[in-house]
Amino acid sequence: MKKYAVFVLIVCMLPLALISQPGHPIPESLMSDTIVTIDSVPYTTRDFVWFYTKYTSYETGDSAGVDSYLDKFVEYRMKVAEAERMQLDTTKAFRDDFFKYLKITAHDRMYAGAEKKREELVKLEYDRLHWDYEVAHIFVKSNIYDSPAAKKAAEEKIKQIHDEIFHAATLPEYTYRKCVQKYSDDNLSKEYDGNVGFITAMVSPFEYENAVYNANVGDMVTARTAEGWYLINILQKRPTKGAVDAAIIMIYPQSEDEAGWNAAKQTIDSVYEQLQAGVPFDTLSARYNLNDRLRETNGLLGLIDNGMPYSREIKETLFAMEHDGDYSKPLKLPYGYAIVKRRWILPLPGFEAYRSAYEKRIEADKSRCSVVDEEYLENMKKNLSYKPNEQELENCMQYIDASILLGKWTAPKLETDATLFVLNGENYGRNEFFRYLEMIQKNHLRDVHDKDMLVRIRFDDYVTRRVEFATMKQMEKNDKEFQYIMQEYHDGMIVYDLINQEVLQPAAEDSVGMKFYYNQHKEQYMTEPRKEHVTFFTNDEKTQAKALKLLDEQRMWYWEGVVGKHAQKIAYYEDKGTPQMFIVNEINAKRPNSISVDVGDKILKTADDVVDTVNVDCKTMCEKIAVFENKLKVHYYYIASRQQTIKEAKEQLMIDYQRQVEEQWLRAVKKRHNAVVNQSVVDEIKQYL
């Protein structure tokens, strides 16, 4: 698609509001008037203004320029008409490319501003990092893709638990702990009566985090995540503790019985006593840590912040320490005993230090990466009056068996259809959805082993596709700016193909015509003046003397016009732009490989580049000769401009010849198409452009 950019020019990023208001607002009645009719197709002032804004600013006030740009507009529209006459927009290649661009452009407009919202999400997460919340929760498992009945039962269950706590005759805290043990599906937090400790941003699913950070201490709130319902109790709020660089001495029980734990307790108590007595932490770490990495690094754990999955006992103990070098009393953990030490603390860095890492974390987080797109999608559904039929989707399950998990399911051919959802007043049935399922079933979904769940996931994808496509169709119908963008791309594509077919390829293949054009315009193709730094390499003094003699004859020809023995040869090589080859070829003709040459040149850009030259109009001059043991250094020939050969001029020659071919072709196009300009409209818009 990039090739069409040459003719699309600027696929107008200007908003339509600007196009309709160049300098002074153009009256709507004038914008709707026909400014020119090409063949039988009328073009309005609005069409011309859209074109005009791509080439000039509104502030020029040059009314004469309007006529010039109108000529360009008419010429371009004639090219489009010619391409349509040749049916260049009916080929399969055109239709495929155009539809790809249509989808890309429509998608960009549907989700305009999404990048800014994603940046705001990153900033929101960073701002939340400044606060930690201690929370407890009750979890009711309910996957977002469960059956409607199962999801409804889970929602009713979380409401029931909420009401049971809210209306309890006993203290709410007591009833909450009781409900945790009775109802929660989170077995890990049950051990702590639902308390999960202090959490911070980017630790929990986004829906969970939103519920917490939008609540106050003492509130009890619900949150629906992809995995289920949470009833969250907000216990405390505190400023973040930053990150602590920590070290640990870890003692594991040798056995899981009481004797093993008692022995470990005795060991950790001994370590603590030695610390109290002044034995360095590092010494004791090397002595008691059994883990090789901990022993070699003096027990180093590294930086620990509240978002890391360390045990709450370790984190809270470290965060409670006030000074670098402080160490804890022995801590009993589920897997042994530990003493931790605060080495140093890192306050929360600035936003820029977090930006890149958090953008990547959000992109990898299922609950966050789609937040912005889902917001846009919900707005599109609302605008299109989306109405799902969940029950009919469930009825579809009887026609889909487990073979779909293997990518081997065949869609049934049902005579009757049933509506799965309504979009913009149009019914979308199960038969079309079945065809979609069959088409994409080989694109397996990881970790999905339930065929009903797979169907519901695919249905969501299908709805998204249909919503975006319906939105695109609305844009084609109602969005004037989108219409102009797509028309511009359509026209640019077919004009490119037209020019390529009628001008570029014929010119490239017409070597005879290009040679004739070159002979008619030779004076346009000249070399740039330049200086050459030439070094001749010789084998012996005799060759060097011969070269010096020829150089002297060459200089006499250049400076004084002396017609010597080799005047014709000197003139020949001068005309070719390689005067040094006169000397090389003359010597090597009799004594092969006696002399060679190395040339470095510099194109002259300004008059300063020809300093020290006596007459810049002369052909060639030798400023200085330096003689060494086996080489002659000739400092700077000044080589005047000369006519380029066809091969040297080929690139620019091709461009110029194509331009001539296009001018000839365009004259023929203008004879085949008729343009009628509405001069009164042209005169009127000049006061606005």
Per the model's pLDDT, the better-predicted residue between 7 and 657 turns out to be 657
Confidence of residue 593 (pLDDT cuts 50, 70, 90): confident
Please tell me the distance from the alpha carbon of residue 425 to that of residue 352, in angstroms, as a whole number. 47
Q: What is residue 623's predicted lDDT score, i.e. its pLDDT?
A: 53
Residue 403 lies in a domain: yes
> Residue 442 CB: number of other CB atoms within 10 A?
9
- Asked which of 418, 453, 477 is the last residue of a domain, the reply is 477
In whole numbers, what is the pLDDT of the chain averaged over residues? 87
C-alpha closest to that of 662 among 503, 521, 506, 508: 503
- When pLDDT is averaged across residues 2-21 and rounded to a whole number, the result is 40
C-alpha closest to that of 315 among 248, 218, 234, 235: 248
Total length of the chain: 689
Write the CATH number for 205: 3.10.50.40
| Cα four-point dihedral sign 477, 483, 486, 489 | positive
What the block records as the tokens of 316 is: 């809270």
Per the model's pLDDT, the better-predicted residue between 636 and 120 turns out to be 120
Instruction: Return the residue matching tokens 């740009």.
Output: 69
Phi/psi for 436 (5° steps) reads: -65, -45
What the block records as the tokens of 111 is: 């989700």
Residue 107 lies in a domain: no
User: Helical H runs in 309-422?
Assistant: 312-320, 351-364, 366-369, 371-383, 390-396
Burial class (CB in 10 A: 0-12, 13-18, 19+), 417: middle
Angle in degrees, 0-180, between the axes of helices 480-499 and 92-110, rounded to the nearest 10: 150
Instruction: Return the residue matching tokens 């941003």.
Output: 201
Q: Are residues 341 and 396 in the same domain?
A: no
Percentage helix, strand, coil, to 5, in the chain? 55, 15, 30
Please tell me the distance from the alpha carbon of residue 649 to that of residue 653, in angstroms, as a whole number. 6
Q: Are residues 210 and 314 in the same domain?
A: no
C-alpha closest to that of 76 among 673, 500, 506: 673
C-alpha closest to that of 173 among 221, 212, 139, 218: 218
Q: Are residues 229 and 197 in the same domain?
A: yes
Q: 571-580 long-range contacts, Cβ below 8 Å, gap at least 24?
A: 574/619, 574/620, 575/642, 577/527, 577/639, 577/642, 579/554, 579/620, 579/637, 579/639, 580/532, 580/534, 580/536, 580/634, 580/637
What the block records as the tokens of 551 is: 């150089």
Residue 14 lies in a domain: no
Most confident of the following: 509-513, 563-567, 599-603, 684-688: 509-513
Per the model's pLDDT, the better-predicted residue between 540 and 139 turns out to be 139
Residue 31 lies in a domain: no
Predicted structure pTM score: 0.70
Confidence of residue 235 (pLDDT cuts 50, 70, 90): very high
Phi/psi for 59 (5° steps) reads: -90, 0
Residue 467 lies in a domain: yes
What the block records as the tokens of 242 is: 């930053």
pLDDT of 99 > 60? The answer is: yes
3-state secondary structure of 44: strand
Q: What is residue 24's predicted lDDT score, i.e. its pLDDT?
A: 67
Q: Are residues 467 and 560 in the same domain?
A: no
pLDDT of 56 > 80? The answer is: no
Q: What is residue 71's predicted lDDT score, i.e. its pLDDT?
A: 92
Please tell me the distance from the alpha carbon of residue 645 to that of residue 576, in angstroms, as a whole number. 9
For the stretch 279-320, pLDDT in tens is 999 999 999 998 889 988 999 999 998 888 778 889 999 999
Q: Are residues 458 and 470 in the same domain?
A: yes
Per the model's pLDDT, the better-predicted residue between 370 and 229 turns out to be 229
Per the model's pLDDT, the better-predicted residue between 169 and 239 turns out to be 239
- When pLDDT is averaged across residues 642-668 and rounded to a whole number, the result is 91
Q: What is residue 5's predicted lDDT score, i.e. its pLDDT?
A: 42
Number of domains in the chain: 4
Q: What angle do CA 599, 604, 607 make, to 5 degrees?
A: 140
Angle in degrees, 0-180, between the axes of helices 63-85 and 480-499, rounded to the nearest 10: 70
- Asked which of 326, 347, 368 is the last residue of a domain, the reply is 347
Per the model's pLDDT, the better-predicted residue between 615 and 511 turns out to be 511
> Residue 649 CB: number of other CB atoms within 10 A?
19
Cβ atoms 176, 136 nearer than 8 A:
yes
- Asked which of 239, 273, 296 is the last residue of a domain, the reply is 239
Q: Are residues 543 and 628 in the same domain?
A: yes
Q: What is residue 261's predicted lDDT score, i.e. its pLDDT?
A: 95
3-state secondary structure of 236: strand
Concatenating the DSSP letter of every residue in 623-634 gives: EEEEE-SSEEEE
User: Helical H runs in 510-579?
Assistant: 511-520, 541-560, 567-576
Please tell me the distance from the alpha carbon of residue 438 to that of residue 424, in angstroms, as a whole number. 26
Please tell me the distance from the alpha carbon of residue 74 to that of residue 71, in angstroms, as a whole number. 5
Three-class secondary structure assignment of 424-462: CCEEEEHHHHHHHHHHHCCCCCCCCCCHHHHHHHHHHHH
Please report, to the nearest 10 degrees, the dihedral formed by the alpha carbons of residues 255, 257, 258, 264 taken in order: 10
C-alpha closest to that of 424 among 460, 482, 390, 470: 470
| Cα four-point dihedral sign 506, 512, 517, 522 | positive
Compute CA distances 616 → 110, 361, 506, 541, 637, whole Å. Answer: 63, 66, 42, 33, 11
pLDDT of 644 > 60? The answer is: yes
Cβ atoms 114, 373 nearer than 8 A:
yes
Q: Are residues 542 and 627 in the same domain?
A: yes
Please tell me the distance from the alpha carbon of residue 229 to that of residue 159, in angstroms, as a whole number. 10
Cβ atoms 189, 183 nearer than 8 A:
no
Cβ atoms 265, 166 nearer than 8 A:
no
Task: State in Å, rounded, how far the first CA of the chain is from the last one.
Answer: 33
Domain that includes residue 263, residue range: 243-347
Please tell me the distance from the alpha carbon of residue 482 to that of residue 47, in angstroms, as a whole number. 13
Phi/psi for 356 (5° steps) reads: -60, -45
Q: Per DSSP, what are the bridge partners of residue 486?
A: none
What the block records as the tokens of 306 is: 């509240």
181: left (phi over 0), alpha (psi -120 to 50) or beta: alpha
Confidence of residue 11 (pLDDT cuts 50, 70, 90): very low
Q: Are residues 234 and 248 in the same domain?
A: no
Q: What is residue 576's predicted lDDT score, i.e. its pLDDT?
A: 75
> Sheet of 131-141: strands edge to edge?
195-199, 131-141, 228-239, 220-224
Q: Are residues 601 and 571 in the same domain?
A: yes
Percent of the chain with pLDDT over 70: 89
Q: Are residues 531 and 632 in the same domain?
A: yes
Please tell me the distance from the alpha carbon of residue 232 to that of residue 224, in angstroms, as a whole number. 11
Q: Are residues 532 and 633 in the same domain?
A: yes
| Cα four-point dihedral sign 659, 665, 671, 672 | negative
| Sequence-ordered list of residues with C-beta below 8 angstroms from that of 545, at least 6 positions apart, any chain | none
Instruction: Return the residue matching tokens 């079933």.
Output: 441
Residue 370 lies in a domain: no
Q: What is residue 617's predicted lDDT score, i.e. its pLDDT?
A: 41
Please tell me the distance from the alpha carbon of residue 35 to that of residue 51, in angstroms, as a whole number. 13
Residue 444 lies in a domain: yes
Q: Per DSSP, what are the bridge partners of residue 601?
A: 532
Q: Are residues 230 and 275 in the same domain?
A: no
Residue 251 lies in a domain: yes
- When pLDDT is averaged across residues 521-537 and rounded to a whole number, the result is 81
Please tell me the distance from the alpha carbon of residue 506 to that of residue 511, in angstroms, as a whole number. 10
